[in-house]
Amino acid sequence: MTPVDAVGFDLFNTLITVEKDALIDAVQRLLETLNRNGLSVEPERFIQDHRDAAMRFLEKTKEDGRETHNRFWIQAALAAQEITLSPDDRIIGEAVEAYFSAFLDHVSVIPGTHRMLERVGNRFRLGLLSNFTHAPAARAILEVTGLAPCFGVCAISGDIGFRKPHARAFQALVSGLGVSEDRILYVGDDPEPDVEGALRNGLRPVWSTYVQDHEMAFAPGYAGTAPGRPGEAIPRISEWPDLIALLQDEHGMV
């Protein structure tokens, strides 16, 4: 077996969890910002229109892999109430920041993650690849949780312009790590973007089921649903000692 030189990680539901009320808080902060800026919107209707727009834009990403952004969802929800703003308008920009600020207050690192990353990082290059529409918020989460210094490369779909499982997303991780695809282990919780995406792009996937096995709420969001199940041949880990054991047994970790 080709040796592993690097390990890549997904973020949400793999390294961190988010409280189930985060999305409610996020939308409320968004609405409060719109109101402070003088926009009169009907809250319940806006929430539904915002959700519908998000699902519509996220579904479109499955066609070409191109990342979407919350500013387009907000613009569409406002347009449904006959309020016309550019997606680049200052008011929408402030609403985006208010929305994502909620996640900073509701995020937790899975126990043992920092110790695991320190140990694995002593032997392998470490990288992060996350589907997150607003890259500044993702980077802020990494700083708040103390995870940012752990990685040599942090590839965020909002920066890349493409979402997993698209090849451009994985290429950003591979390029940042500076090793060939078949020498990268990629750990993620979602079988389609993480496991199947890694497989299709030449990386070696590991399926993480910590959140599922502990019956925790999946990271809230319009795409944050419980994943399916990959093939039986894919290595599965539930706790970080499982990953350490896998690296020790198969990849020469010391």
Judge if the upstream peptide bond of residue 220 is cis by omega within 30 degrees of 0. no
Per-residue pLDDT tens over the stretch 183-219: 999 999 999 999 999 999 999 999 999 998 887 765 5
Average pLDDT of span 217-234: 60
| CA R_g for the chain | 19
**pLDDT > 90? residue 230:** no
Four-CA torsion 81, 87, 93, 96, nearest 10 degrees: 70
Structural contact between residues 4 and 181, judged by C-beta atoms closer than 8 angstroms: no
Query: What pLDDT is attached to residue 87?
Result: 96
Per-residue pLDDT tens over the stretch 141-181: 999 999 999 999 999 999 999 999 999 999 999 999 999 99
Token code pair at residue 128:
């992060």
Residues 185 and 239 in one domain: yes
Per-residue pLDDT tens over the stretch 84-142: 999 999 999 999 999 999 999 999 999 999 999 999 999 999 999 999 999 999 999 99
DSSP secondary structure string for all residues of 26-60: HHHHHHHHHHHTT----HHHHHHHHHHHHHHHHHH
Query: What pLDDT is attached to residue 138?
Result: 97
Residues 114 and 131 in one domain: yes
Q: Measured between alpha carbons, how far is 72 from 88 in angstroms, rounded to an integer?
A: 9
Structural contact between residues 11 and 219, judged by C-beta atoms closer than 8 angstroms: no
Residue 96 located in a structural domain: yes
Spatial CA neighbour of 10 closest among 119, 157, 213: 157
Structural domain boundaries, residue 214: 6-20+107-251
Residue 34 located in a structural domain: yes
**pLDDT > 90? residue 222:** no
Token code pair at residue 176:
């940042």
Per-residue pLDDT tens over the stretch 8-60: 999 999 999 998 889 999 999 999 999 999 998 999 999 999 999 999 999 99
Beta carbons within 10 angstroms of residue 228's beta carbon: 10
Number of domains the chain is built from: 2
State the pLDDT confidence band at 232, using cuts at 50, 70 and 90: low
Spatial CA neighbour of 113 closest among 170, 187, 6: 187
Query: What pLDDT is attached to residue 214?
Result: 84
Query: What pLDDT is attached to residue 20?
Result: 84
Query: What pLDDT is attached to residue 55?
Result: 93
Q: Which residues of 22-55 are buried (b: 16+ CB within 10 A; e: fewer)?
A: bbebbbbbbbebbeeeebebeeeebbebbeebbe
- Beta-carbon contacts of 64 under 8 Å, excluding residues fewer than 6 positions away, are none
Token code pair at residue 14:
């793999």
> Is this model's pTM higher than 0.85 or not?
yes
Residues 43 and 116 in one domain: no
- 251-254: long-range pairs with CB below 8 Å, 24+: 251/3, 251/4, 251/185, 252/3, 253/120, 253/123, 253/124, 254/123
Query: What pLDDT is attached to residue 217?
Result: 62
Residue 129 located in a structural domain: yes
Query: What pLDDT is attached to residue 2?
Result: 80
Task: Provide the CATH number for the domain around residue 80.
Answer: 1.10.472
**pLDDT > 90? residue 228:** no
